[in-house]
Amino acid sequence: MKEYERIKLNYNSLEPVIDDKTLNLHYNIHYRKYTDELNKLLKENNYNYEHTPEYLAKHIDIIPIKERNEILYNLGGYLNHTLYFYNLTNKKTEIPIPLLDEINKYFGSFSEFKQEFISMAKELKGSGYTFLVLDKNNKLRIINMSNQDTPYYYGFIPIMTIDVWEHSYYLKYTYNRQEYLNNIFNIIDFTKVYQIYLNSIK
């Protein structure tokens, strides 16, 4: 089977929310680095790519203990960036009603959901991501992960994420993480989030 690859972007630019330089560095340097390093480590362990990366993340016992830290770090980096780049858009999209109903059920309203998500992302210490996830009972929750940890390692299915590592926003927003979060929330493609949601509910 083929090695894991970066997803192709559906957009050339996310200006003015994400400046082109940041998007280019983030996609071509950071995301590539995690992807290449993951493939290198897996090949060194004679991995034959029989599973999806998501499956691998849910079954970390497949990975030899000796190599686990390095592989999990890069696998998380690969999966988290894949979701981040996937759920962004430069087109105007509407949130599908069934997903909106679920969000209303767990968070009260879309604006309360947005507020809670942004406040979690603001609280995150150091580097990491904020995620909308499904828990084992198909309930929606907002969680933070440090560094390149991914929700799969903790029994959650990530369906949306915002990268809050400084490399995601610092060139344009410098220390103003709040402004980055407010702006990027407007370019989340909730039709894609809903697709992942449908594929993930049990």
Q: Is 163 in the site for Fe ion (CB under 5 A)?
A: yes
Query: Judged by CB, which is closer to Fe ion: 113, or 165?
Result: 165
Q: Is 129 in the site for Fe ion (CB under 5 A)?
A: no
Contact region for Fe ion (CB under 5 A) — 12-20, 59-67, 131-139, 159-167? 159-167
Closest CB to Fe ion belongs to which residue? 163
Least separation, in Å, of the C-beta of 34 and Fe ion? 8
Number of residues lying near Fe ion (CB under 5 A):
3
Structure tokens at 54: 């998501």
Which range binds Fe ion by CB under 5 A, 32-40, 111-119, 144-152, 155-163? 155-163
Of the candidate spans 3-11, 29-37, 59-67, 113-121, the one that interacts with Fe ion by CB under 5 A turns out to be 29-37
By CB under 5 A, residue 165 contacts Fe ion? yes
Tell me the window of 14-22, 36-44, 117-125, 165-173 that interacts with Fe ion (CB under 5 A).
165-173
Binding residues vs Fe ion (CB under 5 A)? 30, 163, 165
